[in-house]
Amino acid sequence: MEQEKIQQLTEEIKHLKKQRRAIILSHVYQRPEVQEAADFVGDSLELSRRAAETDADVIVFCGVHFMAESAAILSPDKIVLLPEKQAGCPMADMVDGPSLRARKQNMPGAVVVCYVNTSAEVKAESDLACTSANAVNVIKSLPEDQPVLFIPDKNLGDYVAKKSGRKNIRIWEGYCTTHEKLTRDDVLAAKREHPEAQVLVHPECRPDVVELADAVASTTGMLRYAGESPAEEFIVCTEKGILHQFNKRYPDKKFYPASEKLVCPNMKATTLEKVHRSLLTMEPQITVAPDIREKALRCLERMLAVK
Ligand code: 13P
Ligand code: SF4
């Protein structure tokens, strides 16, 4: 988008935001101009926390559907807008209420830990949620011998099982269609090109990619690591939108995407025009039915209580 148009829309968004008493939350995978228009940019865990704490009347969620739903669950008295209603998450769609209920019947006594990348209906059927930032701590908060069903990300599940040392974890077969595209060969090629660079890997990547990491972390964890590390170059194994934050925060360091394939089309579906339109029309609103909300809230609150 042209710079002039971006400036004009950003100004109008600022004005509307005041009028509506709105806050704009953006995931780090969003388009740079959307991140720049936001009041807060972060990972899934930080965005959930902000949504729970804000005293704004309206939350404009620049992310995907499950994130806006979590905001609606945590802040039921607020209007939650998702500027592009079709922005979903293919991984979240890999488990639904009926398939989870059927699996639970075969695992009586298991605690269901759901990645936050799930629908409200699935959260309502789960015991506690986690994000990539706190998944290991969430699992460790459970008794050592507690059987766990971890849904839906098989890659995060594998990482968490290895890291926590827990043996009694059954893992769903879901995956992120964006991170799954990244292969070990892609990362090895990037390392050949940038031999001095450290490799930062998101745990949604395949286990043989995770093995190549200098650091495995959520998106915010990666940003923190790059700031604290004395290294000056980094190969980034997660969605490319995060490069905007890396370059903005650490202009003296170099960041390389591990592959040009690392683009989530759902995260890119939100544009500045759509953010503007949603504030003008107060649509599309995301709501959650009260009976589902009540159960899903327990699941999210249990997660937020884990240190
Ligand atoms: P985090 O924001 O928790 O790092 O997760 C990445 C992601 O894929 C969100 O959809
Ligand atoms: Fe879903 Fe992956 Fe896109 Fe995140 S990056 S929204 S997990 S498809």
* Average pLDDT of the residues in 58-85: 96
Atom of ligand 2 nearest to the CA of 90: 8
- Does the beta carbon of 99 sit less than 6 angstroms from any atom of ligand 2? no
The closest of 75, 28, 93, 72 to 284, measured between CA atoms, is: 72
CATH of the structural domain 179-257, one choice from 3.40.50.1220, 3.40.50.720, 3.40.50.10800, 3.40.1670.10: 3.40.50.10800
* Average pLDDT of the residues in 39-49: 91
In tens, the pLDDT along 275-284 reads 999 999 999 9
In this predicted structure, the answer to whether residue 50 has a pLDDT above a threshold of 80 is yes
Ligand nearest to the CA of 242: 1
pLDDT for 45 equals: 82
Q: Where are the domains of the chain?
A: 3-88+267-287, 92-175+292-305, 179-257
Atom of ligand 2 nearest to the CA of 92: 1
In tens, the pLDDT along 150-160 reads 999 999 999 99
CATH fold of the domain at 3-88+267-287: Rossmann fold (3.40.50)
- Does the beta carbon of 218 sit less than 6 angstroms from any atom of ligand 1? yes
Confidence of residue 207 (pLDDT cuts 50, 70, 90): very high
pLDDT for 194 equals: 98
- Does the beta carbon of 178 sit less than 6 angstroms from any atom of ligand 2? yes
In this predicted structure, the answer to whether residue 22 has a pLDDT above a threshold of 80 is yes
Predicted TM-score (pTM) of the model is 0.95
For residues 156 and 117, the answer to whether their CB atoms sit within 8 Å is: no
Percent of all residues in the chain with a pLDDT value above 90, rounded to a whole number: 97
Domain 92-175+292-305: top CATH class: alpha beta
Atom of ligand 2 nearest to the CA of 178: 2
In this predicted structure, the answer to whether residue 1 has a pLDDT above a threshold of 80 is no
Confidence of residue 187 (pLDDT cuts 50, 70, 90): very high
Confidence of residue 209 (pLDDT cuts 50, 70, 90): very high
Confidence of residue 91 (pLDDT cuts 50, 70, 90): very high
Query: What is the CA(29)–ligand 1 centre distance, in A?
Result: 8
Does this chain's domain 92-175+292-305 share its CATH topology with 179-257? yes
Instruction: Work out the number of other CB atoms within 10 angstroms of the CB of residue 14.
Output: 13
Cα distances (Å, whole numbers) of residue 146 to 55, 133, 136, 163, 170: 38, 21, 14, 16, 11
Ligand nearest to the CA of 130: 1
